[in-house]
Structure 1
Amino acid sequence: MKRISVELIPRDETDLRAQLAIAKAQAGRADVINIPDLLRFPMRSWEGAAIAKETFPTVMPHIRAMDIDLNVELPMKAYLREHNIREVLVIQGDPPQDMRQRVYPTTTVDVLRKFHEEMPEVKTYAGIDQYRGSMSKECYRIERKLQAGAAGFFTQPFFDIRYVGMYADMMEKFGVKDVYWGVSPVLSDRSQGYWERKNKVVFPKAFEPTLAWSIAFAKEVMQFADAHDASLYVMPIKTDLEQYLAGVFAG
């Protein structure tokens, strides 16, 4: 396997440090900490990444394309350089709940190019959303992001190993060698319903909204990534972080 990335939510510094301690204890094999940029919390992703860098050697803040004004320099440029943060994940981002927060019609492709021009030393990754539409349309988006300089991709969580295989075949066709296959726990009927309504996920017949099933599937994807020289992206959403990571990385 290339690398293992664990996503941690930066609610505040105290909480993030507590999560980092758990991740270090339970997921010591992890190579990268991913930090989302969630506007409902005061800490920006690059600030959280700088804190995470004290514990893990590699960190990757998420950069929201819709926050970037293409007419000015990247606002986090100086901070990234000051803290020697050399990798970022560029995503489109969701509109802010507080509409006083200004957003722009900027796309991920725009921001990938902007990083390439302004910060060529930074390795940029892009996202794959295997649920937002047809595979052919997602293929087109992947090609555009590759043309804009994406070095690799992080997927949304998978729940069916057969679907992972389909996307792996597609990425092989494009010659993409750096893919982080996503997994995340779904632990209730309500959460399953959310994924079905919001993200149009079709769960396999054998799926169960339990911690045991989620851990077993994460291990299955880990084995797939290991066999295909790919990477794993662990997103411990709405779960007991210590219990989930301990189960995924046991043994």
Structure 2
Amino acid sequence: MNLDTLLKQKRPVITDGAMGTYFTQKTGFSIHECEWANISRPELISEIHREYVKAGAQFLRTNTFSANTKSLGRPLADVLEIVRAGYRLAKEAAGCQAVAAADMTAIYPRGDEETDLLPEYLAIADAFLSEGAEVFLFETLTELSPFDQIADYLKKKKPECKVLISFTVSPEGITRLGVPLRRLLDEVKPHRELFDGIGLNCGCGPAHILKFARELLSYSRQYLSLPVLVMPNAGYPAMEENRTVFDTSPEYFSHQAVRIAELGVDMIGGCCGTTPKHLQLLSRLIQKKREPLAAVTTTVTAVGSLEKSAPRESRFAQKLRKGEFVMAAELDPPYGSRVDKLLTACRVLQNSGVDIVTISDSPMARVKLDPVVCGAKLQRETGMEVLPHFCCRDRNVNALRAMLLGAQCENIRTILAVTGDHVPELDRGYIKPVFNVTSAKLMEMISQMNQDVFADSPFTIGGAFNPNVANSKAELARLEKKLKAGAVFFLTQPVFDEGRISTVKEAREMGAKMLLGIMPLVSYRNAVYMNNEVPGIQIPTAYVNRFSPEMSREEAQRTGIEIALEIAESLRPHADGFYFMTPFNRAEIVAELIEKCREM
């Protein structure tokens, strides 16, 4: 049995259903044991595969969905053993009645680590090839990369192999990063020669996925000419006694899935929550159809065919675009809900001519007032443009997207995306860092939302850059990734050493607008503390020695301003703007600096 033969039949190919959720339902074991069962309980996995074949499935996915080092927490050698065993089990169960497909999905790094995962993907692909795999399914994807590279690799190593790709979207028709289905399909279009089928799976129940299946089918007919695969979930899950449970009946699922099949899709099956019973009823209903199922005739409207007004820019964004020198000043939100002092500080900065006020997001992992709430309050009451920091440490993708919607609702149009400081070891037992995405991924998500939900008034995206690190090449590589993700400008750590200018120069040559950090010191104690206890900040001894413990507050403040002005004057030719960190929210210090920097 081969895929080409199956696709030539008059009715859609029936795929299998869920492995993980059915494994848990059938055994009571944790879903995390599912892939390892290829080794520890092979007879159980074989039994599940055979149940699906008996139910009418003609397309079996290997039990390898989470077979990767990140998901399983096992070394690559173990993962490859699981992969090879998984293919053998599916191939044996398929026999001459079904096709066994090597199943792969995205590998997600843990926390905020940035790792090149392509070698692991290719090692997994090679493990499948070593067992004779001829059909591959990349499923439950939210973006094309790096699966275009993997498909290209497979086609070069085994030109006759078939590669299918399947995306997942929410009931709103977007991925977890806010990418709409149409844009995913547009990304596939230039690479269509690499694929032998395209689909949708997971994310939605059969009722919601119907309209997206119609869109996918129409797009494929017009632009891709690829067979279409649709595998919805049984419905939506509930938690019962710490277990994921799907209550949707097989009867309901099968009748809804037939509606999808009637669109004219080439392959139909199930994903999470579906069982052999679901697929058996679906198969029977499709077999009862006397006539070939209809082909959809909906026309896809070309993106950009409708007239749109030019997007609105913030004043800060306009200045950046025009190449004007800009000034930003940071205020630290309070640990509490009263912002009276912050409003006063904001007005002082506003009167000095600052272009934008930045609001930090619980720096050093110490909780403070929410930066969007705080920024919105300042902007509403003063008219001052604000730049809230968005920290990935404390929020998952849903929370970040909700926060973006809130910022847009409050007419905030500039965002600083940061990964965030790590939680101190002392607090890790109680405070759990999230790091669902890195700052670069958050930027990518904002860029995608800028093209859709925020198209009329998109965010201008900023990032962080540290020119003081020892490994400047790695920092510049991160900056390049952020630029590709949509970042326009960067706020740097305080620059006290002119020797760091070469790194800044390289960043600007890459197209980054650089707002160089200037942090006025206010006392000897402050200088010593910042130099020794705050990561990423290095203060030359010559500057520290210009203070003394005996100085009055006024003398120390004047010394700090003098040093900051000297630094600003030396940095001015190498910057697109300055980013002033306001010490202890003493806005009058930064206001004086801004006024004098305007005269340079």
Question: TM-score normalised to the size of structure 1?
Answer: 0.84
CA distance 1:73–1:223, shift in 2 (3 Å): closer
- Greater mean alpha carbon deviation, residues 61-70 or residues 218-227: 218-227
Matching of residue 61 in structure 1 with residue 61 in structure 2: no
Match for 1:34 among 346, 350, 358? 358
CA distance 1:220–1:154, shift in 2 (3 Å): same
Matching of residue 4 in structure 1 with residue 327 in structure 2: yes
1:140-174: per-residue Cα shift (whole Å, max 9, x none)? Answer: 111111121111110011112x1353233212331
- Greater mean alpha carbon deviation, residues 222-231 or residues 84-93: 222-231
1:88-141: per-residue Cα shift (whole Å, max 9, x none)? Answer: 111121245663465234211111111111234111100012234421121111
Matching of residue 118 in structure 1 with residue 460 in structure 2: no
Match for 1:235 among 581, 585, 596? 581
Q: For 2:443, give the aligned amino acid.
A: L
Q: Specify the alignment match of 2:343 in structure 1.
A: 17
Distance 2:416 2:400 in 1: 18
Which ranges in structure 1 are unaligned for 5 or more consecutive residues?
A: none
Q: Specify the alignment match of 2:418 in structure 1.
A: 91
Distance 1:135 1:220 in 2: 24
Q: Specify the alignment match of 2:535 in structure 1.
A: 199
1:196-240: per-residue Cα shift (whole Å, max 9, x none)? Answer: 333364433531344334323433444456545611111012374
Distance 1:224 1:230 in 2: 13
Q: Specify the alignment match of 2:592 in structure 1.
A: 246
More contact order relative to length (CA 8 Å, sep ≥ 6) = 1
Distance 2:516 2:466 in 1: 11
Matching of residue 79 in structure 1 with residue 403 in structure 2: no
Q: Specify the alignment match of 1:138 in structure 2.
A: 475
CA distance 1:83–1:134, shift in 2 (3 Å): same
CA contact (8 A) 2:331 2:585 kept: no
- Greater mean alpha carbon deviation, residues 119-128 or residues 132-141: 132-141
Q: For 1:175, give the aligned amino acid.
A: G
Distance 1:72 1:9 in 2: 22
CA contact (8 A) 1:37 1:44 kept: yes
Shift of 1:245: 2.8
Q: Answer with 1 or 2: which has the greater Rg.
A: 2
Distance 2:472 2:383 in 1: 35
CA contact (8 A) 2:346 2:378 kept: yes
Match for 1:216 among 559, 562, 581? 562
Q: How many residues align?
A: 247
Distance 1:201 1:77 in 2: 30
CA contact (8 A) 1:33 1:52 kept: no
Q: Specify the alignment match of 1:128 in structure 2.
A: 465
- Greater mean alpha carbon deviation, residues 36-45 or residues 107-116: 36-45
CA contact (8 A) 1:125 1:151 kept: yes
Matching of residue 169 in structure 1 with residue 505 in structure 2: yes
Which ranges in structure 2 are unaligned for 5 or more consecutive residues?
A: 1-323, 452-457, 548-555
CA distance 1:142–1:102, shift in 2 (3 Å): closer
Distance 2:515 2:440 in 1: 19
Percent identity of paired positions between Structure 1 and Structure 2: 22
Distance 1:68 1:213 in 2: 40
Secondary structure, in 3 states, of the residue corresponding to 1:93? coil
CA distance 1:73–1:127, shift in 2 (3 Å): closer
Distance 2:347 2:398 in 1: 40
Shift of 1:36: 0.5
CA distance 1:134–1:193, shift in 2 (3 Å): farther
Distance 1:73 1:205 in 2: 41
CA distance 1:239–1:36, shift in 2 (3 Å): closer
The structure with more helix, counted as a fraction of residues: 2
Secondary structure, in 3 states, of the residue corresponding to 2:542? coil
Distance 1:200 1:57 in 2: 29
Distance 1:81 1:157 in 2: 29
